[in-house]
Structure 1
Amino acid sequence: MLLGIIGAMNEEVIQLKEEMILENTREIGGYNFFKGTLLGKNIVLVECGIGKVNAAICSTLLIQEFNVDKVLFTGVAGALNPEINIGDIVVSTDLVEHDFDATAFGYDYGVIPRMEVSKFQADKDLVELAKNVAIENFGKNRVFMGTILSGDVFVASPDKIKWLRDTFNGECTEMEGASVAHVCHILNKPFVIIRSISDKANHDANMNFDEFVKLAAQNSKIIIEGMLKGF
């Protein structure tokens, strides 16, 4: 089995890269794909860059060029659920592109016209594994399951938080996960998105993000390594 592991930023992949046994590095379209082993499991690790297009291109290349069996995406996010705090974990049950707006044609927000699916379901077995590892390491009260929202916007507004929560009932918001999920759905690859909360997506989000991103990335690393032990 070959696992694909994606992080959006260097902070989200550097710790995993430092611990893996690297076999080779392959550069494709500006993305560096690191192939090797981590905790005895075969992986391909890549930093996709920020935003939905970067994530979609990178995950497509990962699947098409390396034929990975499963895709794990790890990184940070801003909380939408008021019960979620900085450092808590959100495991995706499904993902939605919250900035997809075809409401002028009568569609609901987030619905992609002429697609049968706009809410992309994560693999149930991967979700269960991620949840169990997260609870084991951080405790049940710090682990949340539900919808993760993605869009090409860094949310830092209480009004935007309220709209996203009211419209989609999302647990957290970020900028890549749903596009990775979209690609995995099209290419028929099981996936799960794991997010550690770096900010509350409010007016303090920029300050909180810079301060806590490394801590959140460390939390994500713990979960990824725990999952690898479970395969």
Structure 2
Amino acid sequence: MSCYGIIGAMEEEVSILKDKMKLNNIVKIASMEFCEGELSNKQVVIVRSGIGKVNAAICTQILIDKFHVTEILNTGVAGSLRNEINIGDIVISSDAMQHDVDARGFGYPLGEIPRMETSVFPAELALVHIAKEVCQIVNPEIQTFVGRVVSGDQFISDPDRKKVIIDNFQAYCTEMEGAAIAQTAYLNQIPYLVIRAISDKADDSAHMDYGEFERQAIKHTVNLVTTLLEKI
């Protein structure tokens, strides 16, 4: 039977999904609460991983090993790396990379993980297509993009650092967990998808009250995740 792991880095990113689920059990492992139950008539495990790549990778491996999830969805927020992506829009991952992996001193390109066969982790194509269609239907007031998500254990606010990421990765947005989830899923041969609501413009030309952004972002991602589960 299919079981879907749903990861959010922060409690705000998963709390409404938890409220909507039929909760059967809570299991505490590695300081994380794994909520087992049903959402949109699917078996799910919903969990707050905590912020950063290590937390995200540990959380993903636990979902695979202990709860035997068959697919993983990661929902949260990210910063835009393209001017056409506005605050509140949704980016759906085509693939994911880590922008803070830097072994250039050994001759590797920026972002390439030494001695791995790949450093680019493709999302599940069927999930990508369905998620894009669903988002355009349930969230018609915003734009939906499909593109690369890059992650690092850094909050990117410096314009020079942002330019380095834009120039080297051709990414759509940057955040702190998605690529770690993607790499863990890839190594375990588990399909994954990253969903990100955009919190700021690439050129910092527009701003929104964060409380208002958060309310809209949660509404849009909950609409997407719950309807996506119905369709898969």
Which range, TM-score by smaller chain? over 0.9
Are the structure 2 counterparts of residues 100 and 59 from structure 1 closer, same or farther at C-alpha, using a change threshold of 3 Å?
same
Matches within 5 A, 1:215-226: 215-226=216-227
Structure 2 counterpart of 1:188, one-letter code: Q
Task: Give, as a single letter, the amino acid of the residue that structure 2 aligns with 1:81.
Answer: R
The whole-number CA distance in structure 2 between the counterparts of 1:221 and 1:109 is 34
RMSD, matched Cα: 1.9
Question: Does structure 2 retain, via aligned residues, the 8 Å contact 1:86–1:198?
Answer: yes
Work out the CA distance in 1 between the residues paired with 2:206 and 2:58. Answer: 27
Which residue does the alignment assign to 1:200? 201
Partner of 1:37: 38
Pick the structure with more helix per residue.
Answer: 1
Q: Distance between the aligned counterparts of 2:46 and 2:32, measured in 1?
A: 10
Instruction: Return the letter of the residue paired with 1:131.
Output: K
Counterpart of 2:110 in structure 1 is: 109
2:172 is matched with which residue?
A: 171
Q: What letter matches 1:43 in structure 2?
A: V
Q: Which one-letter code corresponds to 2:116 in the other structure?
A: M
Summarize the alignment of residues 78-93 of structure 1 with structure 2, pairs less than 5 Å apart: 78-93=79-94
DSSP 3-state at the match of 1:199: coil
Q: Distance in 2 between the 1:186 and 1:68 partners? A: 14
For the 8 Å contact 1:80–1:200, the answer to whether it is kept is yes
1:87 alignment partner AA: G
CA distance in 1, matches of 2:181, 2:70: 14
CA displacement at 1:204 relative to structure 2? 8.5
Contact 1:156 1:202 in 2 (8 A): no
Q: How does 1:205-216 map to 2 (within 5 A)?
A: 209=210, 211-216=212-217
1-structure distance, mates of 2:84, 2:220: 18
Distance 2:212 2:115 in 1: 41
Q: For the Cα contact (< 8 Å) 2:90–2:144, is it kept in 1?
A: yes
Aligned partners of 2:88 and 2:142 also within 8 Å = no
Q: Superposed, which structure 2 residues align to 1:47-196 within 5 Å?
A: 47-139=48-140, 142-196=143-197
Aligned residue number for residue 9 of structure 1:
10
SS state at 2:14 partner:
helix
Distance 1:40 1:222 in 2: 15
One-letter amino acid of the structure 1 residue matched with residue 42 of structure 2: K
TM-score, with normalisation over the residues of structure 2? Answer: 0.94
User: Aligned-pair distance for 1:50?
Assistant: 0.3
Deviations 1:108-153 (A, max 9, x none): 1100000001010001011111111111123497011111010001
**TM-score, L = length of structure 1:** 0.94
| Preserved contact between residue 91 and residue 192 of structure 1 (Cα < 8 Å) | yes
Look up the equivalent residue of 2:146 and give its one-letter code: M
- Asked if the contact 2:83–2:203 (Cα under 8 Å) also holds between the matched residues in 1, the reply is no
**2:80·2:198 contact (CA, 8 Å) conserved in 1?**
yes
